Amino acid sequence: PVHPTAARPLPITVQSENVAYSDEHIVSKFFNRGSEAVFANGMYSVKPVSKPFEFQTTRKVSKTGLMMVGLGGNNGTTLCATILANRHGISWHTKNGIQQPNYIGSVLRASTVSIGTNPATGKEVYVPISSILPMVHPNDLVLGGWDISGLPMDKAMERAKVLDWDLQRQVAPHMAEIGKPLPSIYYPDFIAANQEARADNVIPGSDKQAHLEHLRADIRAFKQKHALDRVVVFWTANTERYSDIIPGVNDTADNLLAAIKASHSEVSPSTLFAVASILEGEPFVNGAPQNTFVPGVIELAERHQSFIGGDDLKSGQTKLKSVFAEFLVNAGIKPLSIASYNHLGNNDGHNLSAEPQFKSKEISKSSVVDDMVNANRLLYKPPAEGAKGKAAKGEHPDHIVVIKYVPAVGDSKRAIDEYYSEILMGGRSTINIFNECEDSLLATPLILDLSILAELLTRVKYRDLSNGAQTEFKPLYPILSLLSYMLKAPLVKPGTDVVNSLSRQRNALEAFLKACIGLEGNGDLLLETRIW
């Protein structure tokens, strides 16, 4: 039997004058309802607004390849083995009995949304999110990618020590078919020195322009070999140190392209992969915390209307924090400090034991409560007018993050968080959370969700009907902030606010997918249950 999370979803048809189905497209009319609020003369003045849009979704799902950078790592091998076990229906023995493959932990495959109420029973009807619009099934993804370690995939899975042996044993021949990862670019300065021993599969030379062209050729060749419509390139390689942002080097698209030509030392491997993907017109997602998306990359993505998303997978501690901090602040309780400790023993932890790489992770983990604090200036004083630097954030809870490498615990990361809060009349509350995050098993479904959503969003176009004029459909803005739910430090359109709250991120995704089929997003009012 196929596990329900791996089953093919049933289609949905919406009967509405706002939705039209053709063989090729679903076109929906959508009113973006909101309000404009201003504060003047000692009062708030609010005006409801409603702007009409149209969304056009191509129904035919692209034949999609997923090329991972860091294919031979814990995430890369776990993802490949998971897909292959699902695809080939491999079940295995554990000490608890027979285990079936599944996609638990994937929002798209294993969580549901309400599409309405059944009038006969009055009960809400829930469907998998993947039923809302046509999406790639993970079993159909064509797998490939790069690694600086040339260990073949069956052996790399063994090295990762993530999956049960009886599963590894059965899936190994399929993993061996993927073979050896493509050679990658290795600039030792960007990852920890302790990774050097792995780097036996590197593209020779130090000419960054030649490296860029090599990566572009790899993407094209993979696409051609497997007759793909689309390739998603996904960075799940080691965390790099931050790149310095240097005027004239990586601050604009043209400067960045020139810096690559000049093999400038501040252009990181991940930035080169991002540039290669953008120039090939294929989506690129950054699953690690470093600042791959220097301003020049963002400008290049805008210029080529090519999709990018990031940064850093939100799998364990930060995911919990983006729920827990919101719960406290929205309950009117004031966190005074959040102290987070982690220890882990996998290769990611080994790499993060070096200071510059830890710094990248620290930054990405740190901003997660900012939006909740900003939304509640009853509890936290706003910044003084004209405040600069740290003071520009206004009052803020103390927030620290510590990460230690403890080889013995392997992939099973332990995270301890203390939330120390002010409660009524000067009282204090302390909540401690101990969280064991099976790292790669939590991260793998996020890579799937991000890749599947990235492909979907390349098929959604929109037009603004505000002026009544029939303008052309155009693609979404290149920074895919709709991917935020799965990301620790979501990249958003410059000048717009980051939303870290997990529930708001999920609501946004649900509302967007539903808008594409002409349904209202949030039905939580449930008015019929409140009235006579």
Can you tell me whether residue 344 is helix, strand or coil?
Answer: strand
Can you tell me whether residue 239 is helix, strand or coil?
Answer: coil
User: Active-site residue among 208, 321, 361, 514?
Assistant: 361
- CA dihedral angle for residue 132, residue 135, residue 137, residue 140, rounded to 10 degrees: 160
| Residue 311 binds to ligand NAI (criterion: CB under 6 A) | no
Contact 341, 432 (CB under 8 A): no
Give me the least distance between CB of 388 and ligand NAI, in Å please: 32
Contact 36, 44 (CB under 8 A): no
Stretch that binds ligand NAI, among 122-130, 247-255, 340-348, 524-532 (CB under 6 A): 340-348
Angle at 521 between CA 517 and CA 525, to 5 degrees: 140
DSSP state of 182: B
| Residue 287 binds to ligand NAI (criterion: CB under 6 A) | yes
**Cα of 401 vs its chain's centroid, Å:** 21
Give me the least distance between CB of 205 and ligand NAI, in Å please: 14
Two tokens, residue 294: 């220097």
Give me the least distance between CB of 71 and ligand NAI, in Å please: 7
Is residue 319 annotated as a catalytic residue, yes or no?
Answer: no
| Residue 182 binds to ligand NAI (criterion: CB under 6 A) | no
Cβ nearer to ligand NAI, comparing 186 with 380: 186
| Residue 365 binds to ligand NAI (criterion: CB under 6 A) | no
User: Active-site residue among 223, 319, 488, 514?
Assistant: 488
Q: Tokens 């039209």 correspond to what residue? A: 20
Q: Which of 19, 69, 267, 275 binds ligand NAI (CB under 6 A)?
A: 69
Residues 425-444 binding ligand NAI (CB under 6 A) are 439-440, 442-443
Cβ nearer to ligand NAI, comparing 28 with 78: 78
User: Active-site residue among 208, 223, 321, 413?
Assistant: 413
Can you tell me whether residue 202 is helix, strand or coil?
Answer: strand
- CA dihedral angle for residue 222, residue 156, residue 154, residue 61, rounded to 10 degrees: -40
Two tokens, residue 425: 């009349």
- The b/e string for 212-242 (b: 16+ C-beta within 10 A; e otherwise) is bebbbebbeebbeeeebebbbbbbbbbbbbb
- The whole-angstrom separation of Cα 460 and Cα 474 is 9
| Residue 154 binds to ligand NAI (criterion: CB under 6 A) | no
Cβ nearer to ligand NAI, comparing 56 with 106: 106
- The whole-angstrom separation of Cα 487 and Cα 288 is 9
| Residue 234 binds to ligand NAI (criterion: CB under 6 A) | no
Q: Alpha-carbon torsion 170, 171, 173, 174, what sign?
A: positive
| Residue 72 binds to ligand NAI (criterion: CB under 6 A) | yes
Stretch that binds ligand NAI, among 4-12, 68-76, 247-255, 460-468 (CB under 6 A): 68-76
| Residue 288 binds to ligand NAI (criterion: CB under 6 A) | yes
| Residue 250 binds to ligand NAI (criterion: CB under 6 A) | no
Cβ nearer to ligand NAI, comparing 238 with 458: 238
| Residue 198 binds to ligand NAI (criterion: CB under 6 A) | yes
- The whole-angstrom separation of Cα 307 and Cα 479 is 6
Per-position x/- string for 260-279, each x denoting binding to ligand NAI as judged by CB under 6 A, each - no binding: ---------x----------
Is residue 413 annotated as a catalytic residue, yes or no?
Answer: yes
Q: Which of 31, 35, 36, 37 is nearest to 51 (CA)?
A: 31
Cβ nearer to ligand NAI, comparing 255 with 360: 360
Is residue 514 annotated as a catalytic residue, yes or no?
Answer: no
Q: Which of 260, 354, 273, 340 is nearest to 310 (CA)?
A: 273
- The whole-angstrom separation of Cα 206 and Cα 188 is 11
Residues 441-500 binding ligand NAI (CB under 6 A) are 442-443
Two tokens, residue 380: 């936290």
Kindly report the length of the chain: 532
| Residue 342 binds to ligand NAI (criterion: CB under 6 A) | no
Q: Which of 82, 239, 243, 421 binds ligand NAI (CB under 6 A)?
A: 239
Stretch that binds ligand NAI, among 205-213, 296-304, 311-319, 384-392 (CB under 6 A): 311-319
Is residue 155 annotated as a catalytic residue, yes or no?
Answer: no
Radius of gyration in angstroms for the set of CA atoms belonging to the chain, rounded to a whole number: 24
Q: Which residues contact 177 (CB under 8 A, 6 or more apart)?
A: none
| Residue 317 binds to ligand NAI (criterion: CB under 6 A) | no
Q: Name the residue number minimizing CB distance to ligand NAI.
A: 73
User: Active-site residue among 154, 218, 311, 312?
Assistant: 312
Catalytic residues: 312, 361, 413, 488
Name the residues that contact ligand NAI, by CB under 6 A.
69-70, 72-75, 146-149, 184-186, 191, 198, 236-239, 269, 287-288, 312-313, 315, 346-348, 351, 439-440, 442-443
